[in-house]
Amino acid sequence: MTAVNATTPFGRRPMTLGQISRQMAVRAAKPESSVHKWHVFQDVREARELLGATDRSLAILNALLSFHPETTLGGEAELIVWPSNEQLAARANGMPATTLRRHIAVLVDSGLVIRRDSPNGKRFARKGRGGEVEQAYGFDLSPIVARAEEFKELAEAIRNEKKAYRVAKEQLTLLRRDIVKLIEVGIEERVPGNWGRVQQSYQAIVGRLPRSAPRQSVEDVCADLHALCSEIREVLETFAKTQNPVANESHSGRHIQNSNPDSNYESKNGLGQNKEAGSDAAETDNVRSLPKRELPLGIVLEACAEIRELAQGGAIRHWRDLLATAEVARPMLGISPSAWRDACGAMGEQHAAITLAAIYQRAGQINNAGGYLRSLSDRAKEGKFSTWPMIMALLRAKLDAQKSAESAGEREARGGTEDGERLQVSSKLLATLQRPQPR
């Protein structure tokens, strides 16, 4: 009597067209084909997401492969193994029985093994007089041989995708670094151009990138950043040719001059009208009588409302939001990274951000924001500067402007909309604002 291999599962387990097609693929495999089972298992492990397998199901497949004595699996050999659930769980690191059954079903659905169930659902082998296996019921490992090339191609596709994603991430990092440093060069070297708008364009492109971005999104952002970087580099190279025709850095007077962080661009002695524009803050020599508590963020934002325009989403809710917005405003004001580091070191990051927000609020009255910030940093090192008078001066100016607007009838001309924009201060703060400031 000819032995019959079961093609349908035992009991209530359903049969699907997918299982039938995979059994057809096994029967169509070349009898002379042979594979190294652990090499194929490595390909299956790399392509498990495309195959629909899980890490637990692969642990079971590893155990099933270990029950076959041969390392090389051939198309002509009998590739059925029949371990019990207890034996299989022991080799699968003690996996619980319910988990074992669930992930065996995943292996079958993925087409990695085929069930060859006995009439009663038990797994066993019937042997002849010579000890050879005549009939076996259990798990058929033939798909490992029949689909070996498919698994290899899927694993290669996964490796190529990972490589492409890694290259895209590297390109993104390099482009971001290049653009940021090239913008700083344009600002420090005073290259003609709207560098604030360039900074905003860069932030807008990078802002499109989600935290866990797919490769296609990373490549799209890289393409836009590459175009922006090319434009910036072209502007800088064109300017460099006009300033240094010899193209020799050792003979470039401009390069030597601007390599000094205390050059005329941000010189303390070249402030001009800046001293007058910030006299309420910069000329306060005695800060002992000022409040010892920190400035509330709400008061800072009332005094420096224009800084909100640069914030991501137009909102500043925490001090870290103000610090991030100050990093955006710094290159727009023409403040070099060295001047900003000096300010953070002298005042602390929070007070440096407050100072920069105040400078941005009065940017139209300050000709040299970088030099002005260096001057305030030097006064802070000597203990002669506080952000309180600077913010109070801005609030006082805002209150005076509101009083002038009301007396001139602008409130009625705007249809009463100014009530929602009116600056609201407490009585104690109002008394502080009306108090004569120390000179």
Question: What is the spatial distance between Cα 323 and Cα 316, in angstroms, rounded to a whole number?
Answer: 10
Residue 118's CATH number:
1.10.10
pLDDT at 85 over 80: yes
The residue range of the domain holding 43 is 17-146
Question: What is the spatial distance between Cα 41 and Cα 68, in angstroms, rounded to a whole number?
Answer: 14
| 250 and 272, same domain (yes or no) | no
**Which one of 89, 111, 146 terminates a domain?**
146
Predicted local confidence at residue 40, as pLDDT: 93
> Shortest CA distance to 198 belongs to which of 220, 212, 216, 180?
180
Q: Rounded to the nearest 5°, which phi and psi values hold at 195?
A: -70, -25
pLDDT at 336 over 70: yes
Q: Is residue 1 part of a domain?
A: no
Q: Is residue 82 part of a domain?
A: yes
| 332 and 412, same domain (yes or no) | yes
Q: Is residue 332 part of a domain?
A: yes
More confident residue, 18 or 328: 328
More confident residue, 409 or 93: 93
| 190 and 237, same domain (yes or no) | yes
* pLDDT band of 1, cuts 50, 70, 90: very low
136: left (phi over 0), alpha (psi -120 to 50) or beta: beta
Q: Is residue 439 part of a domain?
A: no
CA dist list (Å): 224 to 171, 228, 254: 12, 6, 32
| 303 and 274, same domain (yes or no) | yes
- pTM of the shown model: 0.48
What are the structure tokens assigned to 218, written together?
A: 């990373």
What are the structure tokens assigned to 80, written together?
A: 């059925």
| 294 and 382, same domain (yes or no) | yes
Predicted local confidence at residue 292, as pLDDT: 57
> Shortest CA distance to 137 belongs to which of 9, 2, 1?
9
The domain tally of the chain equals 3
Predicted local confidence at residue 7, as pLDDT: 63
Predicted local confidence at residue 404, as pLDDT: 79
Question: What is the spatial distance between Cα 308 and Cα 314, in angstroms, rounded to a whole number?
Answer: 6
Predicted local confidence at residue 248, as pLDDT: 44
Q: Is residue 11 part of a domain?
A: no
pLDDT at 299 over 50: yes
For the chain, the average pLDDT equals: 78
pLDDT at 174 over 60: yes
pLDDT at 93 over 50: yes
Predicted local confidence at residue 177, as pLDDT: 93
pLDDT at 179 over 90: yes
| 50 and 120, same domain (yes or no) | yes
Question: What is the spatial distance between Cα 349 and Cα 387, in angstroms, rounded to a whole number?
Answer: 12
| 251 and 357, same domain (yes or no) | no
Whether 64 contacts 103, CB under 8 Å: no
Predicted local confidence at residue 20, as pLDDT: 60
Predicted local confidence at residue 221, as pLDDT: 93
Whether 356 contacts 329, CB under 8 Å: yes
pLDDT digits 0-9 by tens, 115-167:
887 877 788 778 777 777 777 888 888 888 888 888 999 999 999 999 999 99
Predicted local confidence at residue 189, as pLDDT: 83
Predicted local confidence at residue 412, as pLDDT: 55
Predicted local confidence at residue 265, as pLDDT: 40
Least confident window among 117-126, 250-259, 305-314: 250-259
| 316 and 171, same domain (yes or no) | no
By three-state DSSP, how is residue 356 classified?
Answer: helix
| 294 and 361, same domain (yes or no) | yes
Q: Give residue 369's Cα distance to chain centre.
A: 32
| 357 and 415, same domain (yes or no) | yes
Q: Is residue 7 part of a domain?
A: no
pLDDT average, residue stretch 273-278? 40
- Residues in the chain, total: 439
Nearby residues of 125 by Cβ (< 8 Å), 6 or more positions away: 80, 82, 133, 135, 136, 137, 138
| Backbone Cα Rg of the chain | 37
Predicted local confidence at residue 419, as pLDDT: 45
pLDDT average, residue stretch 340-352? 91
Q: Is residue 10 part of a domain?
A: no
Percent of the chain that is helix, strand, coil (3-state, to 5): 65, 5, 30
Predicted local confidence at residue 353, as pLDDT: 93
What is the 3 state secondary structure string of 259-271? CCCCCHHHCHHHC
| 190 and 61, same domain (yes or no) | no
* pLDDT band of 368, cuts 50, 70, 90: confident
pLDDT at 272 over 50: no
Number of Cβ within 10 Å of residue 161's Cβ equals 11
Least confident window among 16-30, 89-103, 207-221, 310-324: 16-30
| 286 and 220, same domain (yes or no) | no
Question: What is the spatial distance between Cα 242 and Cα 146, in angstroms, rounded to a whole number?
Answer: 68
* pLDDT band of 196, cuts 50, 70, 90: confident
